[in-house]
Amino acid sequence: MNILGIDVGGTGIKGAVIDTAIGELIGERLRLESPRPATPESVGVTIQSLVEQHRWSGPVGIGFPAAIQRGIARTAANIDSSFIGLPVADYFAKQTGCPVYVANDADVAGLAEIRFGAGKDVAGVVLVVTIGTGLGTALFSDGHLLPNTELGHIVLDNGLEAERYASEAVRDAQQLKWKDWGDRFNHYLVAMEKLFWPDLIVLGGGASKKLHKFASRITVQAPVVPARFLNQAGMIGAALFAGEKWGATGQNLP
């Protein structure tokens, strides 16, 4: 089944048509700048232009940077606060005219890795951390997701919120060297390990391509590996999520 997968990020909104049977991109990936401020209207217009540029009229899956409960956004750390309480799936469906399914961006990136990537067939607890404007997390036990974990917002023992200390955005803004940022990120992973004892930690987002630059700073016991799909995991997982929901409603694809 082919589905348009869209990843809404702090700096870019990316979309590609995905073959959900194999988790691979079909054709090109398009990326548009994230609007500022990222209001429902402006994000909706950007999503609509991605749909139009792909000449797409089928189901759309969206990975969105907020806790999403039954299609409704509950948080807004790096997007406009007017998203809170908005039924985002319905909102983007009206805007695009397509059936739209929305889930948390890190959860869907994790789904891609669990189904087809670094977490495939891994027994036990897998923690996926996406490193970008925020720190996103997805927590799986034997392949089952506990949604909306939002563990990028925990307060570390230095009194700082993790995503304000160890995100990609902080590394950029403070121009930290990879090793120095790696120490911060390791501080975060150590805190995660003490709480969840994952069997595997998978890193997604832009920094996952640079793991070799900070791997020497990582001291957790769990193996830490880059996402197989690197920063494309969000788009792929968004399509997989939509495919699973679409299948569950028993609707036939056009």
Exposure on the CB side of residue 26, measured as CA atoms within 13 A: 15
Please identify which residue in 65, 99, 110, 182 interacts with ligand BGC, judged by CB under 6 A.
Answer: 65
User: What binding mask, one character per residue, do residues 120-139 give for ligand BGC by CB under 6 A, x or -?
Assistant: ----------x-x-x-x---
3-state secondary structure labels for all residues of the chain: CEEEEEEECCCEEEEEEEECCCCEEEEEEEEEECCCCCCHHHHHHHHHHHHHHCCCCCCEEEEECCCEECCEECCCCCCCHHHCCCEHHHHHHHHHCCCEEEEEHHHHHHHHHHHHCCCCCCCCEEEEEEECCCEEEEEEECCEEECCCCHHHCECCCCCECHHHHCHHHHHHCCCCHHHHHHHHHHHHHHHHHHHCCCEEEEEEHHHHHHHHHHHHCCCCCCEEECCCHHHHHHHHHHHHHHHHHHHCCCCCC
Nearest-CB residue to ligand BGC?
Answer: 134
Binding mask 154-173 for ligand BGC (x = CB under 6 A): ---------x----------
Residue 7 contacts ligand BGC per CB under 6 A? no
- The yes or no reply on residue 46 touching ligand BGC (CB under 6 A) is no
Stretch binding ligand BGC (CB under 6 A), from 27-35, 37-45, 70-78, 88-96: 70-78
| 104 near ligand BGC, judged by CB under 6 A | yes
Binding segment (CB under 6 A) for ligand BGC, from list 25-33, 72-80, 94-102, 190-198: 72-80
Distance (Å, whole) CA 155 – CA 158: 8
The residue (of 56 and 104) whose beta carbon lies closer to ligand BGC is 104
Instruction: Please tell me whether residue 79 binds ligand BGC under the rule CB under 6 A.
Output: no
Cβ nearer to ligand BGC, comparing 66 with 236: 66
- Counting contacts by CB under 6 A, is residue 145 touching ligand BGC? no
CB of 82 to ligand BGC, least distance (A): 16
Interface stretch with ligand BGC, choices 100-108, 120-128, 173-181, 245-253 (CB under 6 A): 100-108
With tokens 């197989």, the residue in question is 228
Contact set with ligand BGC (CB under 6 A): 65-67, 75, 77-78, 104-106, 130, 132, 134, 136, 150, 152, 163
